[in-house]
Amino acid sequence: VLFLRALASHAAAAAPPAAHSLVLLMEDDFEWCEGAVQHHVAPLLARLAHVHALADFTALRLSFGLNGVLMPAAALRPAAAALESAQLRGPADTLLGAWWTYDSAVWRHELLRAQGGAQYLVHRFNLMRHIGAVSSSGAPYAAPGAGSHTPACYAPLFYTGLYVRENFDLLHCAHQRLSPCWLVEAETAADPLYPHPP
């Protein structure tokens, strides 16, 4: 909570364009998958800057956990306030997941209105590799592909530790790079998926 509040204060005090910049939430035991920034993140950031339907978002998930989440600087203060109001109800990553996906069982309606209807977006592929051995809860992690429940690099972004709407919607958005895909279907009709992972 204190970290998000400090980031929000810094962003509010910054002069444009810093005040409209993006912040990447990361855990210290993750790293980018090979080629992820060049082939996925950079084109996506350019896309966000020019596509009207994607311009107003509260967060964009690129990986799992409290990691790999891009947030507009302006969205930090409401998120910090939401966390502070419910910090005894669970860990930060779970609470933020509920906040981003409008989980009414956790948040009061006035908190949901504070987001102004901004969309939560999910990238099709997991773009970060977990290199730690133990989760913040103390449970050991298995290596991806060895009975692990964590997605490997470039696997579809689906993780059982996330809320349903925090995962990529492969059922409805099989030919898109972002979900919810109804936001961008028309705009991406002639725009193929990113190149296959390296």
Mean pLDDT value across the chain: 75
Kindly tell me the sign of the dihedral angle through the C-alpha atoms of 42, 47, 48, 50. Answer: positive
Tokens at residue 193, please?
């998926």
pLDDT at res. 99:
80
Q: What is the mean pLDDT of residues 89-94?
A: 78
pLDDT bracket for residue 187 (50, 70, 90):
very low
Q: Evaluate if residue 186 carries a pLDDT over 50.
A: no
pLDDT at res. 192:
45
Query: In angstroms, rounded to a whole number, what is the distance separating the alpha carbons of residues 8 and 14?
Result: 10
What size, in residues, is the chain? Answer: 198
User: Which residue did the predictor score with more confidence, 142 or 33?
Assistant: 33
Q: Evaluate if residue 179 carries a pLDDT over 50.
A: yes
Q: pLDDT per residue over 3-26, tens digit each?
A: 566 665 655 555 454 545 888 988
Query: DSSP secondary-structure letter at 59?
Result: E
Q: pLDDT per residue over 114-133, tens digit each?
A: 555 577 899 999 999 998 77
Q: What is the mean pLDDT of residues 17-45?
A: 85
Q: pLDDT per residue over 157-177, tens digit each?
A: 999 888 888 999 999 888 888
**How many percent of the chain have pLDDT more than 70?**
63
As to burial, measured by CB atoms within 10 angstroms (0-12 exposed, 13-18 middle, 19+ buried), residue 118 is middle
**How many percent of the chain have pLDDT more than 90?**
22
Q: What is the mean pLDDT of residues 38-61?
A: 81
Q: Evaluate if residue 104 carries a pLDDT over 60.
A: no
Q: Evaluate if residue 34 carries a pLDDT over 90.
A: yes
